[in-house]
Chains A and B, each alone.
Chain A
């Protein structure tokens, strides 16, 4: 077992409320912390977990862990109400500025619009409730709130709402958004209680805002070599991964960089991030894991395929060969099955040992069904199935793989050349692969094998790619039984 020393300084990207909270928590754990005001202050990042080099305005600096802590930005939803802003029609943020600067003198009636431009949400409602209460402090002002669904599922929100009502705010819950004249001076709505059209002549119309992920997330994800979700947030849904972890070791994603959060969530999340950082950095010495991918430099053609395919950003190159960063490698084997030179071996799943596993499938069965089962899903589901006494057919021979992405095209063909009746590759559900795209790569590979088999005259239906969750014993049993019946 080799021990190495790592850097224990932490870089927090984003001086947001989550960023500052994380910094505070991490400082309490006695690590040095540097907080960057915005993602734009990070000019580049090289290196690996425990040894990152960040390019900052002040020059290059080393860090052991990185925390992304971007916030959402707000965007007024004028268009959803067919409005354009003017001095009588303003956004929620602008209204808050007016209250802060005490510039509401002379305003008598204020209308708030929420929940029609987007599905109602507690964060939006909270701001409305607060503004209503601010207005109630002033003399002679009538706040009116026009809402669709009133979302109050957050601590203290219902209380805020009631307080406003008690102080005189009037709420209208409508099915359709009200119609507002272009200058904002007249509002027409269908009153649900009176069942008739009503009119109101406000002095000010305040339009709700939507929360959109920080626009810098895309560049940040690119700099950090992590995936960005379709909605622009810095975390993919992944049941196998702790929410604050990314696919890359030593890079964490905190709070609002991941999803919309209120202050309580932010406080909790910052503690979680700090704990995970501590778990990783420890006292600065780390045992180098042994069961990782190893590249045979002599065989490596430095084609960069492994670098491009590694879901965990664990590969780099040096002179004329690719190298695995042992701390970052999560032993998924995706690189090994993609390497055109067969130059990569996973310590626990060497090609030679998988080949002998394939060999063993034929020990008591002339034409077995060889099934490569991802250890994170299918293999689990299979053990559950046998615990539940589902009768898995004798001829079904499972081989455990660290990720479906480890299943080399060669393994499948080898099984057929030995006389397998069928080959199954059983992976995690789409979007649920612990290694981001191992299941997708496996699916593509199986498709390719199918077309190859078809050409050489083997029925392509003898190969199966299927996805399963680790707790789906019965579904897996069904899939297995059907497939075995079909090919045997």
Chain B
């Protein structure tokens, strides 16, 4: 899932300091699962804002909705007619959702209430670890299922570097050396041959705004454009 964490309250408060009426929009998918921007967190943020602004003697009016996803037009359109009178929208979705919301309602300022941190996994209640940087050409097959882009501090495709230190990474004793782990797992699976050859680098020129069209839909996209 996409993992995000709530921004510090003061930051949010200062973004909407000039607003009398704001509308907070939560997202029921990724950010709800990682406990950052679902209906509950929306409620909490709204109450925080209300309490703080009342204390300042500058009350704020808050409207609210939690959409299924903020990264789909159809769900975003559910806001139509509800938000136009507000001074600003606070979105609790990931960065993609926030941008898409802002794109759909370009006349209203949209503020992020979360920091999007990673594509990650759930370790424990409220604990998430990054696992993927969306490099666009996955090499997990070669590395025994451990991502060198994310887990190696240098993102090496041919590791480890000279800094590997008895299983730890040279940047920090508490961070595992990704390549040590890769080696360990490949040995266990008897697939060490995998990393004996030099792996060519990823084509990092792909780090532009990427559009993904599933193969089955390529032709229809082209025809629809024409």
User: Which A residues fall within an 8 A CB radius of B?
Assistant: 302, 304, 307, 317, 320, 409, 440-441, 444-445, 447-448, 451
Is B166's beta carbon under 8 Å from chain A? no
Decide if A448 touches B219 in the complex (CB within 8 Å). Answer: yes
User: Which B residues fall within an 8 A CB radius of A?
Assistant: 28, 68, 72, 74, 215-217, 219-220, 223
Chain B hits for A409, CB < 8 A: 216
Q: Can you pick out 5 interface pairs between chain A and chain B where the beta carbons lie within 8 Å of each other?
A: A307-B74, A444-B223, A445-B216, A448-B215, A451-B215
Decide if A320 touches B68 in the complex (CB within 8 Å). Answer: yes
Chain A hits for B68, CB < 8 A: 302, 317, 320
Given contacts A304-B74, A444-B216, A451-B215, 12 further A-B contacts (CB under 8 A): A302-B68, A304-B72, A307-B74, A317-B68, A320-B28, A440-B220, A440-B223, A444-B219, A444-B223, A448-B215, A448-B216, A448-B219
State A444–B224 Cα separation when bound (angstroms): 12
Partner of A447, one of B28, B72, B74, B219: B219
Chain A hits for B28, CB < 8 A: 320
How many cross-chain pairs have Cβ atoms below 8 Å apart between A and B? Answer: 22
Chain B residue with the shortest CB-CB distance to A340: B214
Closest chain B CB from A57 CB (angstroms): 15
Chain B hits for A307, CB < 8 A: 74
Most buried by A among B72, B220, B223: B220
Decide if A444 touches B72 in the complex (CB within 8 Å). Answer: no
Chain B hits for A441, CB < 8 A: 220
Closest chain A CB from B39 CB (angstroms): 12
State A217–B76 Cα separation when bound (angstroms): 25
Residues A444 and B74 in contact in the complex (CB < 8 Å), given A320-B28, A320-B68:
no
Chain B hits for A317, CB < 8 A: 68
State A320–B74 Cα separation when bound (angstroms): 13
Chain B residue with the shortest CB-CB distance to A319: B68
Chain A hits for B223, CB < 8 A: 440, 444
Closest chain B CB from A211 CB (angstroms): 28
Chain A hits for B219, CB < 8 A: 444, 447-448
Closest chain A CB from B148 CB (angstroms): 27
State A447–B223 Cα separation when bound (angstroms): 13
State A75–B216 Cα separation when bound (angstroms): 44
State A116–B124 Cα separation when bound (angstroms): 78
Decide if A444 touches B215 in the complex (CB within 8 Å). Answer: no
Chain A hits for B220, CB < 8 A: 440-441, 444
Chain A residue with the shortest CB-CB distance to B220: A444
